Structure 1
């Protein structure tokens, strides 16, 4: 739904049946995050568990899927980077003859760092003892990683660059970072959970 609303709304407005054709593409992490957040809330409510505790567990595992997804983007190849003259730039099929940043690998590497931060926090620092803390750390870390990678990634052709050279991925990452800050504040105000 995030891709439909933010990346290609005009197309889906004239082709509404295509909204459910996810096998044709048209997915975005930001939309998936919104859907997953709703699913966590519904699951927690039905099972009478703390939504923030469920969100923490999910947040510790999501970067693994994101890392693998970015490697798949590289292998496919899709979501390539901007034209570049760095020595490791690559020519991607269907992206023209000029070498480009392998931005999918940059993001996979940053997702690896997010995994390490969350795993260290979960195993050594006890972030899971404060419901919402791991989810907040993930929100901030993912948002910053995505913004950093967007400087190297080719913007979506139907949108191009938006305000002052920002991309839609950058703009949608700002509320994710803000939500991460809010979750950390909420987590710090709660009593520490027992192990």
Structure 2
């Protein structure tokens, strides 16, 4: 199909300002709003899960709303520190070795989802250990709540006209203002749908209908597996980072390489969940 005909069928990127609100010198971006709203929604949903006794083994959840309130700060630190470090190590190490003072400059962009996930998991392990319950149960709750972030932040990526997909001739291809004249897959919206909406629906089915919070690590494993599958699928449509390109042929990307181990880890987490207790040590006596 000739390029002109493709462009006639494509969707021109809507004129959405990445800045949602301007107050004097202060610019509030949709991307930042996505993070804040998703953290608040995730916090609310996590509190809902721990306050529903029938979802847990006899005696209820091993941690309460107050524990989640305390963990929120740990989670934010894990997301930011892990996400930035992951981006530096996995996606642009050469640049940051030459410009080490730019490593803390998160305001200039550059965050890795895989790094943020690892940072949050480390925060969970440390926090759960300090409170005496298994990190797997905390992972189950936080993983499900994180779907709000994957849904909203990917939409913000679309608004920012970043992380767009490969060129395409499908009718819903979008001509991004900084993506050249050819239409591209709106891969940000694909990710928002698969990693956010679909994964959230699957996890909630496992939680509310099948009671899988009673098996620590099952929901967390399902989330790791589900995200890995969704990300690998989307990588076939997403344009790889310009400074990395394809790692092999015209299909293998860094996103795929980082997601493949998630498949194995997710299956392991689900397969071994029935062997765990929600308490890392003996449950404390209650008065």
Q: TM-score range by the shorter chain?
A: over 0.9
- Alignment partner for residue 179 of structure 1, among 265, 268, 277? 265
- Alignment partner for residue 214 of structure 2, among 129, 132, 138? 129
Which sections of structure 2, spanning at least 5 residues, go unmatched? 1-84, 280-287
Which string of whole-angstrom CA distances, capped at 9 and with x for unpartnered residues, describes residues 16-52 of structure 1?
1111111111101000011011000011011111110
Aligned equivalents of 2:276 and 2:86: distance in 1? 31
- Alignment partner for residue 157 of structure 1, among 227, 230, 242? 242
Question: Which residue of the partner structure matches residue 91 of structure 1?
Answer: 175
Which string of whole-angstrom CA distances, capped at 9 and with x for unpartnered residues, describes residues 26-80 of structure 1?
1010000110110000110111111100010011111111111111111111100
Aligned equivalents of 1:62 and 1:74: distance in 2? 19
Alignment of 1:7-18 (within 5 A): 7-18=91-102
Higher helix content, 1 or 2: 1
Q: How far 1:192 sits from its partner (Å)?
A: 8.7
**Do structure 1's residue 79 and structure 2's residue 163 form an aligned pair?**
yes
**Do structure 1's residue 120 and structure 2's residue 198 form an aligned pair?**
no
Aligned equivalents of 1:185 and 1:119: distance in 2? 19
Higher strand content, 1 or 2: 2
Count of aligned pairs between the two proteins: 193
Which string of whole-angstrom CA distances, capped at 9 and with x for unpartnered residues, describes residues 79-121 of structure 1?
0000011001011111111110000111111121100000111
Which sections of structure 1, spanning at least 5 residues, go unmatched? none
Aligned equivalents of 1:188 and 1:151: distance in 2? 35
**Do structure 1's residue 28 and structure 2's residue 112 form an aligned pair?**
yes
Alignment of 1:131-150 (within 5 A): 131-150=216-235
What root-mean-square deviation, in Å, do the aligned CA atoms of Structure 1 and Structure 2 show?
1.3
TM-score by length of 1: 0.95
Which string of whole-angstrom CA distances, capped at 9 and with x for unpartnered residues, describes residues 141-195 of structure 1?
00000000000000000000002421000110012222111211220333699xx
Aligned equivalents of 1:131 and 1:191: distance in 2? 7
Aligned equivalents of 1:18 and 1:106: distance in 2? 31
TM-score by length of 2: 0.65
Give 1 or 2 for the bigger CA radius of gyration.
Answer: 2
